[in-house]
Amino acid sequence: MQAIVHYPKIRIGKYSVDIFPYWITLLLGGIVFGLVGAYIVLTQGLHVTGLSNKVPWALWISIDLSAIALGGSAFVFGVLVHLLRIKRFEVVGKLAILLGFLGYSTAGMILLFDLGKPFRFWHPVVYWQPHSLLWEITMCVVLYLSVLMAELLPIVLEHPAFSNHPWLTRFPILSKLMVPVHKMSQWLHGFSPVLAVVGLSLSLLHQASLGATYSVLAGRGLWFNQSAPVQFVLSAMGGGVALLFLVSIVVFRIMRPGLVKDDVFYDLARISGAVTLLLTYLRIWDFAVTNYYSFDREIALQTQVLDTIAPYSLTFWLGQAILPAIAGAMLLAAKRIRSFRVLLAAASIPILNAILMRWNFNFSGLIASITYDPFTPSVVLNSYTPTWIEFAVGGMVICYWLLMFSLAARYLPFHSTKQHEH
C-alpha cells in the first residue's frame, strides 16, 4: 500500500500555494544559465576560467569532492540493508542510493568541464595507467556509478506509471517492452547483496585514494600525512549519513508521514554522530602531530600565509573541531534529545564539516605552496579568482542535483518490498 504524499505548501493570505512548480522553474533557470557558461568552456577552453598551472584544481574540483562526500550514505546503507539485513533501514536505504547516484553523477558532470579536453573523458577506461592514483579513482567512480544505476533502477520502476499507466493498455508494445524491463529489475534486486559488496569495495578504494592523492604530494606540505585516506572515508560516512538524516525528515516525516518510524531517524542521527566524533578526534590528532609533535617550519609558514588572506585557522578550529565535536555528541544522544529541530541543526554541522574539510585539502596547498628547492624551501602565495563562467557551471550542476532530488522526493514511492508485496 502506497503512503499518501503531502506536498509542501506556503500560505499567502487565504490561499495555500504549492511551491513546487516555482521551485522547479527556478532550478531550470539556473541550469539554462549554466549551459551558457558550459558552451563557452567547451568551445573556447579553460582559459576563460581562473585556473592556472599554479592552481589547476579549484572551484569545480571542490564541488566534485563535496558531491562525492555527500553521497557516502549509499555504501554505508548498502551494507546495513543488504549484508547485515537490518530491514528497518530498507526505505531510507533507497533514499541513500538516490543520494549516492546524484552525488556521483554531479561529480562526473563537473569533471567533464574541468578536463582540458573533455571529449577524451573515455580515455582512462581504454588507456590504463595502473600506477596512477587518479586513474584508480576514475575507474572506481565510473564503476561505482554503474553500480548505483543498477541499484536505482528497481527503485524507479516501483513507480505505478511503469505498471498501471493507461498508455500500457492503449499501446500494447509498451506493455510488452516493460516485461523484460521488470524482469531485469527483479534480477537486479535479487543481486543486491553482490552489488552492495562491490559498491562498498569501490567506495572505500576511491574515497581513501582521494585522501592519498593529497598526502603523497609533498609540495602541499600542510596536509602531508598518512591519515588523510581514513579521514576522507570518515568524512564521507559522517557527512553523507547526516545529509541522509536531513532529507529523510523531509521525505519520510513531512511528505510521507508514517512510512518510517522515528526510531530509524534517531539511528541515522546516532550513526552520523559516532562517525563525526571519530573523524574529529583524528583531525585534532593530525593537527597535533603536524604542528606540535613534529614541528615543520614550512607548514607553519603555510598556515601564517593562509591566515593573512582568509580565516584559515578559524575554519579548522570552529568548523572542523569544536562544532563537529558538539554536533557529534548531540547526534549521538538523539534518542534523549528527541527534538527534530535541534537534531536537524546539529546534522548540518557534519555536512558542512565534510565540505569544508575537502575544500581546505583542495585549496590550502595550492594557494600557499612550498617551492621544490630541497635546500632553501619557501612558501609561495598563489592567487585564484573564479570567473562567472565557473560559478555558472558550478551552479548548473548544483541545480541539477536539486532538480533530480526534488522530482524524486515528490514522485518516487520509496515503499518497502514487504509493503509492495501486500
Find how far residue 15's CA is from the centre of its chain: 37
Q: Which of 290, 344, 340 is nearest to 313 (CA)?
A: 290
Do the Cβ atoms of 215 and 228 come closer than 8 Å? yes
pLDDT band at 369 (very low <50, low <70, confident <90, very high): confident
What pLDDT was estimated at residue 182? 83
Q: Is the pLDDT of residue 337 over 50?
A: yes
Q: What's the pLDDT tens digit per position in 59-76?
A: 999 999 999 999 999 999
pTM of the predicted model as reported, rounded to 2 decimal places? 0.92
Cα separation of 405 and 290, whole Å? 40
265 pLDDT tier (thresholds 50, 70, 90): very high
End-to-end CA distance of the chain: 7
Residue 130, number of CB atoms within 10 A of its CB: 7
All structural domains of the chain:
9-413 (1.20.1630.10)
The enclosing H or E element of 379 equals strand 379-381
User: Computed from CA positions of residues 156, 184, 70, 116, in that sequence, does the dihedral angle turn out positive or negative?
Assistant: negative
C-alpha cell at 303: 598556515
